[in-house]
Amino acid sequence: MRLRFRAGWSAALLRALGVKLEADLTHVAPGVLLVANHISWIDILVINAVLPTTFVSKEEIRHWPVIGRLAAKNDTVFLRRGSRGHARIINAQIAEILAQGKHVAVFPEGTTTDGRGLLHFHAALLQPALAAGRPVLPAAISYWEPDGQRSLAPRYDGDISLGQCTRAILGRKRLIARLVTTPLRGLNGEDRRQVAAEAREAIALAAGLPLASNPPETGVDLPDAMLSDGRPTGSRNQAPADSA
């Protein structure tokens, strides 16, 4: 009931914003880790409208105005970066949710873009699902104008504020949001680097984006426990060397 309610209000809010949702859920299976590119705050509405999901987010977002409150009310799992003990708790929590046949979602770029390309995927964010033996579902998000042109209106990157982003969306008579799922990954014991690379390639293809080679960003600061796959990790104060 709660999941249906979340899907209902997410769809209603998209309609209120003038966003038409088109979704291809061909590859959805019970208990998947949904991995998506990240463009806007409405990405969460797009996913929840058709696939009610628990999101993994950094702890700081809990304290953001409006978005933090929405996240907290929607079963978001908040990751406290730099805390090994907390990460183990989060990993177990994610595994339990997936084992129940429910979905968890992450944005492995770690930030938003303008929607015209993909950043590096931080593979460590996929580790909890792979360790629990659950599949990864790459899903591509894109936004389009009615004339078929890719839309930049929903972008929430750089110095664009929440208000500016929302006004840009409302300034369009109609926007089309597309969510396209691709075949499941991580079913045959692949390591997280391979799964992340395959997911990134699948998302780029489904969203019609160039697959440029991007170096890992710094400052991710993921806890060691979230990175553990039997290999050594780097300093907890830097992006892990094996998060690529």
The domain limits of the chain are 2-213+224-229
User: 192-210 burial, b for 16+ CB within 10 Å, e for fewer?
Assistant: bbebbbbbbebbbebbebe
* Report field, pTM of the whole predicted structure over 0.95: no
**106, 35 in Cβ contact below 8 A?**
yes
**53, 32 in Cβ contact below 8 A?**
no
The DSSP code for 185 is: B
pLDDT score of 23 more than 60: yes
pLDDT digits (tens, 9 = 90+) for 36-91: 999 999 999 999 999 999 888 766 666 666 666 666 566 777 776 655 566 677 88
In this prediction, residue 81 carries a pLDDT of: 64
Residue 3 banded pLDDT, cuts 50, 70, 90: confident
Task: Classify 2-213+224-229 by CATH class.
Answer: alpha beta
